[in-house]
């Protein structure tokens, strides 16, 4: 019966693939290494053959697949399914992802930005379920985002909406990967947190991180910073406090602009829990107008690593790109 959907979430390190029901329930999922050096043609060939294997394993015919939804880093043209540029995937410039997948599998493919797909996943079946105006931040190596307005993914006129990591927080702040200065991403991403920790230790600050990393500063991870903060380390708490404040400043601007019902944070950094969310909420509510500040819920995402494949499937079924 033609009632299954494939979801694919392409990342710089791994590619997640799932077979889902039309209701978004995962029947089978797997992950394969991206090996970005192989280039897009080879990678997509591997994705197609893994999808075929996965269907065979579950005795699902390829002809029973309604559509395939793909989340991919951008910027990209979601209508035509063409990747414009991806900093973490060399050789994908102007790659016709939709066409390649469709010719490999003979299933209609829908391509969307990865952060938009994850946002749609949270809206459909995660922390945003039941709400219609949602903003989602994805906190990873970079900071991405997505916006759902009145139940519809908002892509902007050129498919570039939702790049929340590149809101300017400090006009002359540190240089961002995008070339601008003082973007949220350059101030509040996980790698930045680690960089600040190392800088602090080098300048003579006493912190538990020195013993946790056994004196090897390069071994410091963001998880280590959450751990030492939860054990009461003052410096680690200050770092999370500052990160939370920067995120809160961005959220305040969004609350005043869009008046969302809920703001969702996903990605590894949410492991820091209230040590991050408390200063974040405080700053957002302090800066935003009282009404949107009172209304909004600022919460953790619920779907974890599955948000991308679930959201890609949701968007593929919805078919806004047709």
**What are the residues binding Zn ion (CB under 5 A)?**
166, 176, 178, 180, 183
Q: How far apart are CA 208 and CA 252, in angstroms?
A: 32
Nearest-approach distance from CB 164 to Zn ion, in angstroms = 10
Nearest-approach distance from CB 170 to Zn ion, in angstroms = 12
Measuring CA to CA, which residue among 102, 24, 65 is closest to residue 311?
Answer: 24
Nearest-approach distance from CB 110 to Zn ion, in angstroms = 27
What are the start-end ranges of the H helices in 66-189? 97-105, 114-125, 184-188
**CB closer to Zn ion, 183 vs 254:** 183
Q: Does residue 130 have a cis bond before it (omega within 30 degrees)?
A: no
- Say if CB 317 and CB 132 are below 8 A apart: no
How far apart are the two ends of the chain, measured CA to CA in Å? 23
- Say if CB 299 and CB 262 are below 8 A apart: yes
Nearest-approach distance from CB 307 to Zn ion, in angstroms = 23
Nearest-approach distance from CB 180 to Zn ion, in angstroms = 5
Any residues with CB less than 8 A from the CB of 92 and at least 6 apart, and which?
40, 83, 85, 86
Place of tokens 């003052």: 234
Listing from the earlier edge strand, what are the strands of the sheet with 26-33?
26-33, 14-21, 4-10, 65-72, 109-113
**CB closer to Zn ion, 113 vs 228:** 113
The structure tokens listed for 4 are: 């299954």
**CB closer to Zn ion, 105 vs 176:** 176
**CB closer to Zn ion, 167 vs 229:** 167
Nearest-approach distance from CB 12 to Zn ion, in angstroms = 17
Nearest-approach distance from CB 116 to Zn ion, in angstroms = 18
**CB closer to Zn ion, 176 vs 272:** 176
Nearest-approach distance from CB 171 to Zn ion, in angstroms = 13
**CB closer to Zn ion, 69 vs 144:** 144
**CB closer to Zn ion, 43 vs 183:** 183
The structure tokens listed for 6 are: 């494939």
Place of tokens 């379920």: 129
Strand 143-149 relative to strand 134-139: parallel, antiparallel, unpaired?
antiparallel
**CB closer to Zn ion, 14 vs 180:** 180
Give bridge partners of residue 146 from the DSSP assignment.
Answer: 136
Q: How far apart are CA 227 and CA 224, in angstroms?
A: 5
């Amino acid at each position: 019966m033609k009632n299954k959907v494939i979801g694919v979430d392409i990342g710089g390190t791994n590619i997640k693939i799932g077979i889902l029901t039309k209701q978004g329930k995962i029947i089978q999922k797997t992950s394969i290494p991206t090996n970005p050096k192989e280039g897009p043609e080879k990678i997509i060939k591997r994705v197609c053959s893994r999808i075929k294997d996965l269907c065979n394993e579950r005795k699902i015919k390829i002809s029973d697949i309604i559509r395939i939804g793909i989340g991919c880093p951008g910027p990209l043209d979601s209508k035509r399914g063409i990747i414009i540029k991806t900093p973490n995937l060399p050789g994908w410039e102007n790659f016709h992802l939709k066409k390649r997948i469709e010719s490999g599998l003979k299933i209609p493919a829908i391509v969307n930005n990865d952060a938009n797909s994850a946002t749609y996943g949270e809206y459909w079946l995660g922390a945003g379920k039941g709400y219609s105006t949602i903003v989602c931040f994805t906190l990873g190596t970079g900071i991405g985002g997505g916006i759902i307005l009145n139940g519809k993914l908002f892509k902007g006129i050129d498919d570039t909406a939702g790049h929340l990591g590149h809101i300017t927080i400090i006009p002359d702040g540190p240089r961002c990967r995008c070339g601008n200065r003082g973007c949220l991403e350059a101030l509040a991403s996980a790698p930045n947190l680690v960089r600040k920790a190392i800088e602090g230790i080098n300048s003579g600050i006493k912190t538990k991180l020195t013993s946790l990393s056994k004196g090897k500063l390069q071994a410091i991870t963001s998880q280590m910073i959450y751990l030492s903060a939860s054990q009461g380390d003052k410096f680690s708490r200050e770092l999370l406090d500052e990160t939370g404040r920067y995120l809160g400043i961005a959220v305040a601007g969004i609350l005043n602009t869009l008046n969302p019902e809920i703001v969702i944070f996903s990605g590894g950094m949410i492991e820091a829990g209230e040590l991050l969310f408390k200063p974040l909420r405080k700053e957002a509510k302090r800066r935003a107008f009282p009404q949107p500040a009172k209304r909004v819920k600022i919460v953790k995402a619920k779907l974890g690593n599955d948000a991308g494949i679930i959201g890609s499937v949701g968007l593929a079924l919805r078919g806004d790109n047709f």
